[in-house]
């Protein structure tokens, strides 16, 4: 029973990380109608920024990571995606994959391909909850990801910018006619997504403090899967999908016979969900007008 | 085609044919015909990133040869080392090989590193040259006819580790963490599970990961009650796992790896091994920190003769020391069997004699690598496929912190 609960908590905290990344995918998809495959590599940018600034102080490093990721996110949107707005979705998709490789290769040129150990902070204490012993990084990840998700939901629902985002995602043309600056909204979306990716990088490093140029690739793909499971374009969907995937991954890893096939299990669930509910768990059904 | 070109092409073809014959006849010529000593060749990195391996091998081989010569050699025939520098680059091996061959090499220690060793193997098989490598661990290096190993083969480390566990960790709860998408890790794990005693299997915890996981939480959760965790993985993954596990595991638990953990205390940038409370060890065949027994004796002799601050002794060097003695012992066995050995015999003749001895079931030598009990040297023998058979030891990178 204890093992069950500690596995569940570990799963929730891993799921929190996936959800944060998935939010970036889903928001960009909902608003710019594109799959930003370079999103995972923004996590890596954040990780290396922390590596560079850790000598100052962990808080400074985290703040710098968020700032750097936001700048990178906006730059990528302006330089790579904006010129392609209106062109075929395939061109944008290929560009996104190209940007992803570009970021990875640059990181490899600058930092080398060897693993770097980046320990943001060490926590020797543990949280004792009855018979449960929980790691401090797990607790921090849980609390922060919950806070971020609540804040984001409130922001999107009640703030002016948030409602403008919803408007753009519903109907770009109509939103523009109503006086919403679509370019600004898309830029803000990229900025928020990148900031979330930076935070996800921080929490990933708290869990496994090692960074390589492909650091963001796997979490990125997992989070994308989570976003699709939840229903891409839907913010609550990304949260549910992320948490679900984190829990499945942790439980699958805790069964020895299953642990070599954890990735396969996760991606099979994606297939099952898509077969049963093609729009994802919380995705809206869109009627295509012909 | 004009007549002149046809003539030219015939001439060219003839020239090529002659050169081809000239090259093959190289191998037939006995460059050792004028030798006054038995020459042992070795190709290793004497400069560059891996110089510490090659220099230790060269130094230790010289040390062993000096000792053998001082004791009268092989019935009066002395030995001599030819060391060449391949910088651990397989492209340089054909040059170092011909250099040694033409200088009269008769027996060889092969190469120090695996990549170079694969090149060496091809050349040595062609010329029928015997080699006993101190440190090229690749599975492809030994062949059981002219190629033998003194170090454990990559895949044999699983068996050697299991045997070590069977001897030393009786009654302990063991766990395994392997990387499911890595051949090295899976290979070692499978061999380990085949050779581990039944008594361990009831409580054994086996878990795995793929790639570079975002979190090791579930693996740590599964392994946290184990007394010994077997880690047939590489340094960077091991560092992250151990960092995540250290505060959850028992203080007297042991992290036990294979040669993938070699360099765990230095290879991962930013990782401080002292943040791990438990003991960190890996399977090896020589303890370069030994303070007693045959290993310590060799270390003392080495430090007296060579500058240990520049190139300290390591498992590569100790292995080369054992290689030279093994070749010497094998030649003594051949002499006892009635074979005549002279300093002018060709490499091929030496190869036939030596491989016959190494293939004998009862041939074994005593060495400093492998498990030495007290002041007793270890027992080393060879399997039919040319791989070594000896007891492994545990090399402690870091003791448990109280």
Domain ranges of chain A: 2-276
B170 and B133 both lie in a single domain: no
pLDDT tens digits, one per residue of A38-92:
999 999 999 999 999 999 999 999 999 999 999 999 999 999 999 998 889 899 9
Residue A210: closest CA among A50, A91, A83 = A50
- What are the residues whose beta carbons fall under 8 Å from the beta carbon of B18, sequence distance 6 or more? none
Question: What is the β-pairing status of strands B205-209 and B174-179?
Answer: parallel
Whether residues A117 and B205 touch (CB distance < 8 A) is answered with no
What's the CATH number where B203 sits?
3.40.50.2300
Query: Which residue, chain included where needed, has tokens 């044919």?
Result: B17
Q: What is the mean pLDDT of residues B144-154?
A: 92
Is the confidence metric ipTM above 0.95 for this complex?
Answer: no
pLDDT tens digits, one per residue of A21-35:
999 999 999 998 899
B216 and B198 both lie in a single domain: yes
B36 and B142 both lie in a single domain: yes
Q: What integer pLDDT is reported at residue B3 of this predicted model?
A: 63
Q: What integer pLDDT is reported at residue B388 of this predicted model?
A: 93
B40 and B140 both lie in a single domain: yes
Res B114 pLDDT > 50: yes
Fold category of A2-276 in CATH: ABC transporter involved in vitamin B12 uptake, BtuC (1.10.3470)
Residue B238: inside a domain, yes or no?
yes
The verdict on B217 touching A (C-beta cutoff 8 Å) is yes
CA distance B1 to B8: 11
The more confident residue out of B370 and B269 is B370
B271 and B345 both lie in a single domain: no
- What are the residues whose beta carbons fall under 8 Å from the beta carbon of B113, sequence distance 6 or more? B44, B45, B50, B53, B88, B135, B136
CA distance B64 to B321: 6
Whether residues A222 and B214 touch (CB distance < 8 A) is answered with yes
Average pLDDT over chain B reads: 90
Question: B232 is in which domain, residue-wise?
Answer: 157-284
Q: What is the mean pLDDT of residues A222-246?
A: 93
The verdict on B239 touching A (C-beta cutoff 8 Å) is yes
- In this structure, how many other beta carbons lie within 10 angstroms of the beta carbon of residue A88? 9
- In this structure, how many other beta carbons lie within 10 angstroms of the beta carbon of residue A127? 13
Residue B14: inside a domain, yes or no?
no
- The alpha carbon of B275 is separated from its chain's Cα centroid by a whole number of angstroms, namely 31
**Strand arrangement, sheet containing B254-257:** B205-209, B174-179, B228-231, B254-257, B279-284, B393-398
- What are the residues whose beta carbons fall under 8 Å from the beta carbon of B271, sequence distance 6 or more? A117, B239, B243
Q: What integer pLDDT is reported at residue A290 of this predicted model?
A: 53
Q: What integer pLDDT is reported at residue B279 of this predicted model?
A: 94
Q: What integer pLDDT is reported at residue A89 of this predicted model?
A: 87
Q: What integer pLDDT is reported at residue B24 of this predicted model?
A: 47
Of the candidates B284, B317, B337, which is a domain's last residue? B284
Q: What is the mean pLDDT of residues B348-375?
A: 93
* Total domain count, chain B: 2
| Touching B: A residues 28-67, CB under 8 Å | 51
Residue A246: closest CA among A5, A18, A2 = A18
Which pair of tokens denotes residue B258? 């294979």
Minimal CA separation from A7 to chain B, in Å: 7
Q: What integer pLDDT is reported at residue B17 of this predicted model?
A: 59
Are A216 and A235 in contact, with CB atoms under 8 Å apart? no
- What are the residues whose beta carbons fall under 8 Å from the beta carbon of B365, sequence distance 6 or more? B322, B325, B326, B329, B330, B379, B380, B381
Q: Which residue in B203, B218, B242, B244 has the most chain A C-beta atoms within 10 A of its own C-beta, making it the best mutation to test that interface?
A: B218
Average pLDDT over chain A reads: 91
B191 and B168 both lie in a single domain: yes
Res B21 pLDDT > 60: no
Of the candidates B284, B317, B339, which is a domain's last residue? B284
CA distance A29 to A31: 6
B67 and B123 both lie in a single domain: yes
In the three-class reduction of DSSP (H, G, I as helix; E, B as strand; rest coil), residue A54 is classed as: coil
CA distance A186 to A164: 10
Res B241 pLDDT > 80: yes
Q: What is the mean pLDDT of residues B168-191?
A: 91
B179 and B140 both lie in a single domain: no
CA distance A281 to A231: 6
Q: How confident is the model at residue B308 (pLDDT cuts 50, 70, 90)?
A: confident
Whether residues B243 and A119 touch (CB distance < 8 A) is answered with yes
Q: What integer pLDDT is reported at residue B231 of this predicted model?
A: 95
Q: What integer pLDDT is reported at residue B18 of this predicted model?
A: 57
Q: Output the CA torsion sign for A184, A187, A193, A199.
A: negative
Q: What is the mean pLDDT of residues A130-159?
A: 90
Whether residues B270 and A218 touch (CB distance < 8 A) is answered with no
Of the candidates B284, B302, B335, which is a domain's last residue? B284
CA distance A84 to A107: 25
Q: What is the mean pLDDT of residues A111-116?
A: 86
Res A182 pLDDT > 50: yes
Residue A223: closest CA among A40, A30, A65 = A40
Q: Which residue in A206, A208, A247, A257 has the most chain B C-beta atoms within 10 A of its own C-beta, making it the best mutation to test that interface?
A: A208
Tell me the CA distances in angstroms from A70 to A92, A193, B191, one per residue in order. Answer: 20, 8, 49
Q: What integer pLDDT is reported at residue A161 of this predicted model?
A: 94
Name the residue of chain A whose CA is nearest to B273's CA: A117
Are A101 and A76 in contact, with CB atoms under 8 Å apart? no
- In this structure, how many other beta carbons lie within 10 angstroms of the beta carbon of residue B118? 16
């Amino acid at each position: 029973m204890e093992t069950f609960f500690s596995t569940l908590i570990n799963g929730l905290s891993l799921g929190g990380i996936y959800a944060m990344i998935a939010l970036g995918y889903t928001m960009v998809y909902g608003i710019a109608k594109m799959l930003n495959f370079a999103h995972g590599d923004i996590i890596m940018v954040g990780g290396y920024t922390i590596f560079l600034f850790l000598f100052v102080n962990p808080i400074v490093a985290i703040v710098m990571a968020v700032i750097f990721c936001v700048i990178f996110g906006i730059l990528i949107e302006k330089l790579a995606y904006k010129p392609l707005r209106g062109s075929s979705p395939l061109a944008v998709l290929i560009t996104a994959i190209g940007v992803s490789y570009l970021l990875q290769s640059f990181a490899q040129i600058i930092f080398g391909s060897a693993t770097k150990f980046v320990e943001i902070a060490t926590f020797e204490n543990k949280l004792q909850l009855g018979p449960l012993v929980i790691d401090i990084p797990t607790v921090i990840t849980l609390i922060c990801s919950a806070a971020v998700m609540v804040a984001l939901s409130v922001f999107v629902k009640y703030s002016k910018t948030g409602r403008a985002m919803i408007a753009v995602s519903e109907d770009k043309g109509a939103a523009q006619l109503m006086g919403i600056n679509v370019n600004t909204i898309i830029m803000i979306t990229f900025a928020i997504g990148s900031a979330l990716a930076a935070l996800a990088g921080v929490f990933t490093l708290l869990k496994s403090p090692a960074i390589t140029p492909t650091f963001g690739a796997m979490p990125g793909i997992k989070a994308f899967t989570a976003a699709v499971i939840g229903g891409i374009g839907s913010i609550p969907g990304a949260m549910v999908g992320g948490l679900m995937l984190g829990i499945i991954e942790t439980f699958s890893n805790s069964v020895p016979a299953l642990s070599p096939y954890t990735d396969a299990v996760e991606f099979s669930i994606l297939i099952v969900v898509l077969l049963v509910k093609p729009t994802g768990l919380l995705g809206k059904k869109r009627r295509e007008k012909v | 085609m004009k007549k002149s070109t046809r003539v030219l092409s015939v001439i060219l073809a003839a020239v090529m044919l002659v050169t081809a014959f000239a090259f093959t006849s190289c191998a037939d010529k006995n460059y050792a015909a004028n030798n006054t000593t038995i020459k042992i060749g070795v190709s290793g990195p004497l400069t560059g990133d891996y110089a510490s391996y090659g220099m230790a091998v060269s130094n230790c081989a010289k040390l062993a040869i000096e000792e053998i010569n001082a004791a009268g050699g092989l019935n009066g025939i002395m030995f001599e080392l030819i060391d060449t520098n391949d910088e651990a680059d397989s492209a340089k091996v054909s040059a170092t090989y011909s250099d040694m061959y033409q200088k009269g090499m008769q027996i060889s220690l092969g190469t120090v590193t695996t990549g170079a060793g694969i090149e060496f193997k091809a050349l040595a098989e062609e010329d029928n040259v015997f080699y006993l490598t101190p440190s090229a661990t690749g599975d492809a290096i030994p062949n059981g006819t002219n190629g033998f190993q003194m170090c454990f083969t990559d895949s044999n480390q699983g068996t050697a580790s299991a045997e070590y566990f069977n001897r030393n960790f009786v009654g302990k709860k063991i766990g395994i963490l392997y990387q499911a998408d890595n051949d090295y890790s899976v290979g070692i794990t499978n061999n380990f599970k085949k050779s581990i005693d039944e008594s361990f299997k009831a409580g054994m915890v086996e878990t795995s990961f793929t790639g570079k996981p975002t979190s090791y939480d579930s693996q740590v959760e599964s392994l946290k009650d184990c007394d010994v965790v077997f880690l047939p993985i590489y340094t960077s993954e091991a560092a992250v796992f151990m960092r995540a596990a250290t505060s959850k595991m028992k203080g007297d638990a042991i992290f036990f790896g294979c040669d993938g953990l070699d360099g765990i205390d230095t290879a991962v940038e930013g990782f401080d091994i002292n943040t791990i409370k438990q003991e960190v060890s890996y399977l090896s065949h020589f303890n370069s920190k030994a303070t007693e027994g045959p290993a310590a004796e060799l270390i003392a002799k080495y430090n007296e003769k060579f500058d240990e601050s520049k190139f300290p002794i390591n498992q590569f060097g100790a292995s080369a020391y054992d290689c030279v003695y093994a070749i010497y012992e094998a030649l003594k066995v051949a002499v006892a069997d009635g074979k005549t050995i002279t300093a002018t015999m060709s490499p091929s003749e030496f190869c036939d004699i030596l491989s016959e001895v190494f293939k004998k079931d009862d041939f074994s030598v005593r060495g400093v690598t492998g498990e030495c009990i007290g002041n007793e040297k270890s027992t080393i023998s060879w399997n039919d496929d040319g791989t070594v058979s000896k007891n492994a030891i545990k090399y402690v990178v870091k003791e448990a912190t109280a």
